[in-house]
């Protein structure tokens, strides 16, 4: 029996509480958040939920959830068309990742999923089973599966006939004077979250993907004092 089927009374109480905000997120952009503590022996469904758009023609949505403390037990719930909610003693969602005792949850939704991926708004709810608040990173990546293929160059038709032969002239290479550029120091007031995201961009592609988030979580733990 899954944790979803064993969802207990503490979560039922949340159904009587007004929903918090819904935060839209963009594909490929990580979001930092925090979910409130659960009652002793209970569970808490996040009042704040997150929404992302699946465009027509998309083939996969990959969702990653990482607690800053990997020992924290949090779960990932996804629902199409409306926020995740509680009905009786059960969570209502279309997709979920519920690894017991894990602060890392990943979920891939594609055309072969049950139900299959469809265009429209999807909502992310997070469940906390810890009696302390848990900070996390959430990342959604939507793919349309239409990678561009470069057009090969026709070597025959593109061949040019040389008009003249140039004799190269050897020019002495000037001796370069090594210039030491001082490493800039971080300006006071710089957003430490932005700095951590830059550190986590291991492949230098100017975006944080799911592969970078495990490193990001470690870096965040090292620099947590800067955020307080």
| Segment 88-108, tens digit of pLDDT | 878 999 999 999 888 999 999
Determine what percent of the chain is predicted with pLDDT higher than 70: 55
Q: Mean pLDDT check: name the lowest of 19-23, 49-53, 166-170.
A: 166-170
Q: Which pLDDT value is given to residue 41? A: 87
SS (HEC) of the chain? CCCCCCCCHHHHHHHHCCCCCEEECCCCCCEEEEECCCCCCCCEECCCEEEEEECCCCCEEEEEEEECCCCCCEEEEEEECCCCEEECCEEECCEEECCCCCCEEEEEEECCCCCCCCCEEEEEEEEECCCCCEEEEEEEEEECCCCCCCCCCCCCCCCCCCCCCCCCCCCCCCCCCCCCCCCCCCCCCCCHHHHHHHHHCCCCCCCCCHHHHHHHHHHHHHCHHHHC
pTM over 0.85: no
Domain 9-143 has CATH 2.60.120.380: yes
Could you tell me the pLDDT band of residue 116, with boundaries at 50, 70 and 90? very high
Q: Which pLDDT value is given to residue 196? A: 54
How far is CA 18 from each of CA 21, 36, 49, 191, rounded to the nearest angstrom?
10, 15, 12, 32
- Write down the domain spans for the chain: 9-143
How far is CA 85 from each of CA 7, 10, 67, rounded to the nearest angstrom?
12, 14, 22
Q: Does residue 84 carry a pLDDT above 70?
A: yes
Could you check whether the bond before residue 59 is cis, i.e. omega within 30 degrees of 0? Answer: no
Q: What is the mean pLDDT of the chain?
A: 75
Mean pLDDT confidence for 79-84:
96
Give the span between the Cα atoms of 38 and 100, in whole angstroms. 15
100 or 112: which leads in pLDDT = 112
């Amino acid at each position: 029996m899954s944790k979803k089927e064993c969802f207990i009374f503490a979560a039922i109480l949340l159904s009587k509480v007004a929903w918090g905000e819904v935060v839209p997120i963009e594909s490929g952009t990580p979001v930092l958040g925090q979910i409130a503590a659960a009652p002793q022996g209970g569970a808490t469904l996040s009042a704040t939920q997150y929404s992302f758009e699946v465009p027509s023609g998309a083939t996969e949505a990959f969702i990653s959830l990482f607690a800053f403390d990997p020992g924290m037990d949090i779960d990932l719930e996804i629902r199409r068309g409306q926020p995740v909610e509680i009905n009786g003693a059960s969570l209502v969602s279309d997709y979920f990742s519920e690894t017991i005792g894990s602060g890392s949850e990943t979920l891939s939704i594609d055309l072969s999923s049950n139900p299959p991926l469809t265009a429209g708004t999807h909502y992310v709810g997070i469940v906390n089973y810890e009696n302390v608040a848990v900070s996390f990173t959430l990342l959604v990546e939507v793919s349309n599966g239409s990678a561009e293929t470069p057009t090969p160059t026709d070597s025959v038709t593109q061949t040019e006939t040389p008009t003249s032969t140039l004799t190269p002239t050897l020019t002495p290479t000037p001796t370069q004077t090594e210039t030491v550029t001082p490493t800039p120091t971080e300006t006071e007031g710089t957003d430490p979250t932005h700095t951590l995201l830059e550190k986590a961009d291991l492949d230098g592609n100017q975006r944080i993907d799911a592969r970078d988030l495990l490193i990001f979580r470690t870096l965040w733990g090292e620099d947590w004092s800067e955020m307080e």
